[in-house]
Amino acid sequence: MSQSSSIFQKKSKEKAFDRDHRKVINFNIAKYNAAVPGGQEQFADLNLARERAKNLKWKAIEVLDQTLENFEANITKRGAKVIWCEDARQANEAILEICKEKNCKTLVKSKSMVTEELHLNDHLAKHNIESVETDLGEYIQQLDGEPPYHIVTPAMHKSREQIAQLFAEKLGTDPNDSAEQLTLTAREKLRQKYMDAEVGVTGANFLIADIGGIAITENEGNARLSCSMPKTHIVVAGIEKVIPSLTDLALFWPLLSSFGTGQRITSYSTVVTGPRQEGETDGPDEMYIILLDNGRTKMLANEKAREALYCIRCGACLNACPVYKNIGGHTYNTTYSGPIGSVITPHLKDMKEWKHLSHASSLCGNCTEVCAVKINLHELLLENRHEAVEEGYAPVVEKISWKLWKTAMLKRGMMNIANGNMKTSFINAVAGAWTRNHSKLKFPKESFNEQWKEKNKK
């Protein structure tokens, strides 16, 4: 068993029986479930919208090299600089180099999962650069020293009371503060950081190839401030974020917001097409775009797994997953959790170490059912299991067990050797992990074969 797998199993056991955790998660996911149908009502044909979105992503990903080159050519025309990075180390170094050049001491950052992939904040802290999370949920998580819990709602596992307590401990506020008071406190603290920051970092929900632009959606205005107030704007984006055309946003923006939060459209939708141009009053002097691979081209080369690159990170599959709802986001110990995280992590990182995630699923198919871009998530989970076996990563005990099972199943005589009582004792002893938390398995005294004979005699 890999180290990641034993950590996952240990944490799963703890979280699955944590009633407080379950209460908060169920409450927050229930709010989400109540909002989403309202947002989805805006589509005359929701199924068609999802299919179109999938086709557009397919179009972009099948010719990813060309789509990205188009994007680069168009955005560099207006003075932005594109930096291609193979892995997290290269991306961190490139960002640090820019920060050093700008003599940056404080950096403001809007919500970006790809920077979590880089562990960017830790890297900058080692070089005495303060990287401040400006999204409220991320700000809460940073105060608490925790990574995001969910790809859309980073502090989903915390109640208002827990956040008020955290603010009281870290910022000296009243532990009985209301949600509004807590938000105002964060706002006041963050405003000064925007004023101080030499560099702003954002992610990108979409990279728009035909105009060379970055599309960012958000509800707090913090991403807009992060990319426009500091003199330097750095965008960090995975290469799969590209879409062919600006007109595609008419579909992707409402799709992302309705599946992500149940909104028809998020409060702030921004397209950035380069640094401040001559004659313009707003915007940064310089803009850099870090295009990150970090395992994505490996996925692109895999004909089946490639489909997972269509993901627009709406988070719907996490909210729908019975496993995620029981064990929560941190148990996965990965940047991306839930069904999509279980599908992509073994490819982005290492199949041998992370193959256990493809078993963190009931295969109910609910994730596939709710996916905004119709990714066949549960089939890809099965595909990962298959790949792990093909690559020789199945444990020896598992291989022997299946061999024995197959031999017994193909021979009636062997199936009849043991009577029901023997089978019951044997299976319950072997399936110890199952019977620890479930009632014991009980076999009928006679085998099916014996019962059949008996029935026909009568």
**Cβ 211 to ligand SF4 shortest distance, Å:** 23
Span from 104-112, 245-253, 310-318, 438-446 in contact with ligand SF4 (CB under 6 A) = 310-318
Q: Judge contact between 315 and 152, C-beta under 8 A.
A: yes
Q: Which of positions 375-434 make contact with ligand SF4 (CB under 6 A)?
A: 375, 377
- Segment near ligand SF4 (CB under 6 A); pick from 227-235, 236-244, 313-321, 355-363: 313-321
Of 291, 317, 323, 380, which one interacts with ligand SF4 (CB under 6 A)? 317
Alpha helices in 261-363 (DSSP H): 296-301, 316-320, 322-327, 338-348, 351-354
Residues ≥6 apart with Cβ < 8 Å to 360: 8, 12, 323, 327, 332, 342
Query: If binding is defined by CB under 6 A, does position 296 make contact with ligand SF4?
Result: no
Among 112, 71, 372, smallest CA distance to 242 is for 71
Give 212 or 341: the residue with its C-beta nearer to ligand SF4: 341
Whole-Å CA distances, 3 to 7, 116, 169, 359: 6, 21, 34, 16
Residue 202 or 205: which CB sits closer to ligand SF4?
205
Question: How far are the Cα atoms of 28, 327, 340 from residue 379, in angstroms, in the given order?
Answer: 28, 22, 12
Q: In the bound complex, what is the minimum distance in angstroms from residue 20's beta carbon to ligand SF4? A: 26
H helices of 229-376, in order, are 249-260, 296-301, 316-320, 322-327, 338-348, 351-354, 366-370
- Spatial contact of 343 and 381, defined as CB atoms under 8 Å apart: yes
Within 335-354, which residues bind ligand SF4 (CB under 6 A)? 340
Stretch that binds ligand SF4, among 94-102, 366-374, 393-401, 431-439 (CB under 6 A): 366-374
Stretch that binds ligand SF4, among 124-132, 267-275, 305-313, 446-454 (CB under 6 A): 305-313
Regarding 108 and contact with ligand SF4 (CB under 6 A), the answer is: no
> Is residue 243 a contact point for ligand SF4 (CB under 6 A)?
no
- Smallest CA-to-CA distance from 293 within 68, 124, 96, 110 is with 68
Binding to ligand SF4 by residue 56, rule CB under 6 A?
A: no
CB of 252 to ligand SF4, least distance (A): 10
Of the residues 314, 357, 381, 388, which one makes contact with ligand SF4 according to CB under 6 A? 314
When asked if residue 372 is in the footprint of ligand SF4 (CB under 6 A), the reply is: yes
Which span (4-12, 314-322, 420-428, 448-456) binds ligand SF4, by CB under 6 A?
314-322
Query: What backbone torsions phi and psi does residue 254 show, to the nearest 5 degrees?
Result: -65, -30
Q: Residue 203, interface with ligand SF4 (CB under 6 A)?
A: no
Number of residues that bind ligand SF4 (CB under 6 A): 14
Closest CA to 124 of 167, 79, 91: 91
Give the nearest distance from C-beta 421 to ligand SF4 in angstroms: 47
Task: Write out the binding residues for ligand SF4, residues 13-32 only, by CB under 6 A.
Answer: none
> Does 329 interact with ligand SF4 (rule: CB under 6 A)?
no
- Residue 315 interacts with ligand SF4 (CB under 6 A): yes or no: yes
Q: Does 207 bind ligand SF4 (CB under 6 A)?
A: no
- Of 233 and 306, which CB lies nearer to ligand SF4 in the complex structure? 306
Strands 106-109 and 199-202: parallel
CA-nearest of 314, 297, 351, 373 to 50 is 373
> Cα separation of 267 and 221, whole Å?
8
CA distance linking residue 76 with residue 273, whole number of Å: 9
By the rule CB under 6 A, 216 interacts with ligand SF4? no
Return left, alpha or beta for 424; rule: phi > 0 is left, psi -120 to 50 is alpha, else beta. alpha
Torsion of CA 136, 137, 143, 146, to 10 degrees: -160
311 is an interface residue for ligand SF4 by CB under 6 A? yes
Q: Are 137 and 186 in contact (CB under 8 A)?
A: no
Nearer to ligand SF4 by Cβ, of 107 and 312: the residue is 312
Stretch that binds ligand SF4, among 140-148, 277-285, 315-323, 378-386 (CB under 6 A): 315-323
Nearest approach in angstroms of CB 312 to ligand SF4 is 5
Return the residue of 201, 312, 327, 388 that touches ligand SF4, per CB under 6 A.
Answer: 312
Burial degree of 137 (CB within 10 A; 0-12, 13-18, 19+): buried
Among 56, 201, 291, 371, binds ligand SF4 (CB under 6 A): 371
Cα dihedral 108→113→114→119 (10° resolution) = 70
Q: Which residues bind ligand SF4 (CB under 6 A)?
A: 311-317, 340, 370-373, 375, 377
